[in-house]
Amino acid sequence: MKKLLKTLVVAATVTFTPFIMASENGNILASAEAEMASSQKGYANEDILISAEEAIKLIGKDNVMFVSGDTEDVYKLGHIKGSVSMYAHHLHHSDITGTMHCAPLYRCIDDAEAYIGSKGIDNNTMIIAYDDFKGPNATGVYSFFTSYGHKNIKILNGGRAAIMKIDPAQIKYDAVKAEAKKAKRAAKPAKKKLKKAKKGKIELTDAEIAELKAIVAESKKTVKELKKKMKAMEKDLMVVKGEEHVTPRTYKIDKDNIDFTNIAGKEEVKHAMEDILKNGENSQYVIIDSRAMSEIIGERKMDHVARGGHVPGSKFIEWNKISDLKNKKSFKSAQELKAVYEKYGVDKDKTIYAYCMVGAGRGSEHITALKLLGYKNIKVFTGSWDVWGNDMSLPLKR
């Protein structure tokens, strides 16, 4: 019992191991940079991405805005300090019938200008798009901005998780958090015995009860002290909780700079579908459906779309075949991506469309991956199933 009390006392006066010292932090960053260089090797257009090691140096800098593509709720639970929320699923504007009035643009120009400006972004801002780590929501932000001609934008490979992995303050914070959990667990046996004694399942002497209560009390004291220490450390973290704080700016979109290269509307996709149904694998087009099978077969409908199903002639390549979930990177290696697309016959000499529920997200994950590989004729179907599923004149399959 004395040994257990000693453990709790040690937990209360936790000291940090050498790996969080400045010299060791350098080793962590160097190792992470080598890992990132290896993971991005082979991409034809790797400049689309920015590593956590590069991005962390830009947090808090003037004219740099980190933009989270995740939901508003996820943003509140943890976001890069100073960043803003632009949920990818809500970037496109359609009415209740699924009609996008300025298609293939995600939003009409005046609406886009007002929305972007409200997020503290102007035309000179460097944008770093990110999500948790998976990639789709970050690529949605990337597709949105590039379509309006914004050139100074990167995708944070590995997202928020990659920043947390190398943030020295986060490493220290996590060490204290682990100690708090350890201290809490140490009191569990004592709590269980006291509970059993109270229910009459076991008998304890007054001395045993006092000793067990002392253990529980010491545990509570230790956890309280460690939580206080964690609270004090939160101000130094690069990933924080809470609401968005932003000063609006003015953003202007030059009509001549709008880039329609990587976005498409339903008319284009319909034409591609007809060609595919006529010519099969000999068609000059490919349509990728990046959704889950439950959506493809029409079993699951989202956002009150009238019809479930998929665009006839589509190839089913779910987005998670592209994202490197195992290593918490936004994309798999170039070699792995090439293997996926070769398997499904997604050739460079064809015009490729990708869609999901809204386009900015799982569909843009594919188009960005293809862009990384050097594909040229690639387009996100903006509005995607929200548009197609609500248009009764368009065919579908289940």
CB atoms within 10 A of CB 196: 13
Is 356 annotated in the active site? yes
Closest by Cα among 352, 361, 356 to 379: 352
Spot the catalytic one: 103, 156, 253, 356: 356
CB atoms within 10 A of CB 372: 23
At residue 224's C-alpha, the angle toward residues 221 and 226, to 5°, is: 110
Distances (CA, A) of 242 to 73, 75, 158, 209: 10, 8, 21, 42
Please, are residues 302 and 357 in contact by the beta-carbon 8 Å criterion?
yes
Closest by Cα among 170, 162, 168 to 53: 162
Calpha distance 274→277 (Å, rounded): 5
User: Is 295 exposed, middle or buried (CB count within 10 Å of its CB: 0-12, 13-18, 19+)?
Assistant: buried
Calpha distance 184→6 (Å, rounded): 14
For the annotated catalytic residues, the residue numbers are: 356
